[in-house]
Amino acid sequence: MADESGTDVVYSATERQQYRRDYYQANRAEILAYEKERQARIKADPVRLAREREQNKLRARRIRAAVRAKGKADKLADPVAMAHATAVLERRNEEARLRSRKRYADPAKRHDQKTRDANSRRAHPERWLVRSAKARAKEKGLAFDLVATDVVVPSTCPICDIPLCIAEGRWAGNSPTLDRVDPETGYVKTNVRVICFNCNAVKSNGSAELHEKIAAYMRGHNG
């Protein structure tokens, strides 16, 4: 997977997986030696060891919450809406991959940069939401006047009650997203709130009247 040959090449998940597998096989001895040395370094430093344990614990908790939330989201959403949300999700993740390839181009700085970004995303999700909204507003020619303090990320989605989770560098169904209450008005202070990715994708697919009709249709057919 020659990243240097150009940023526009898109690899499938299987190709990326194969690349990682080949890379590991080719460099197995070095990788294992480095990991052993790293573990020894961590063990020798009680402060770092404690921090590492705490981080692992938090990470495990986040993963468990994400898995639970995903199960709930799969059950809640209907297949058509789910397919649409998944397609949007895949496109967003592919765009994010292309961006991250540029941002983390320097292998020497990559690890530190990624850690810093992930910590900042978790500590200040509103800043990241506002930043990406600004880019989208520019792209779509929409009004924009938000600053990070205008946005509050709730612990659960106000529509479907799913716990919102800042994903590990990937978009997920329960990622917090910035919703334009009225899509035409753009990203202005009085017109935004935070809802989950799934609800946002479903909502963006039709008017309130259409959603009411779909709900009535579904109820009629489900019971």
| Count of residues in contact with Zn ion, rule CB under 5 A | 5
Q: How far is the CB of 111 from Zn ion (least distance, A)?
A: 33
Supply the Cα-derived Rg of the chain in whole angstroms: 21
Q: Is 196 in the site for Zn ion (CB under 5 A)?
A: yes
Determine contact, residues 207/181, Cβ cutoff 8 Å: no
Q: Is 159 in the site for Zn ion (CB under 5 A)?
A: yes
Give the integer Cα–Cα distance in Å for 133 and 116: 21
Q: How far is the CB of 36 from Zn ion (least distance, A)?
A: 44
What is the rounded end-to-end Cα distance, in angstroms, of the chain? 51
Determine contact, residues 6/98, Cβ cutoff 8 Å: no
Q: Is 73 in the site for Zn ion (CB under 5 A)?
A: no
Determine contact, residues 159/73, Cβ cutoff 8 Å: no
Determine contact, residues 176/221, Cβ cutoff 8 Å: no
Of 85 and 157, the one with the shorter C-beta distance to Zn ion is: 157
Q: Is 157 in the site for Zn ion (CB under 5 A)?
A: yes
Stretch that binds Zn ion, among 8-16, 60-68, 135-143, 199-207 (CB under 5 A): 199-207
Of 178 and 199, the one with the shorter C-beta distance to Zn ion is: 199
Q: Is 172 in the site for Zn ion (CB under 5 A)?
A: no
Give the footprint of Zn ion on this chain (CB under 5 A).
157, 159-160, 196, 199
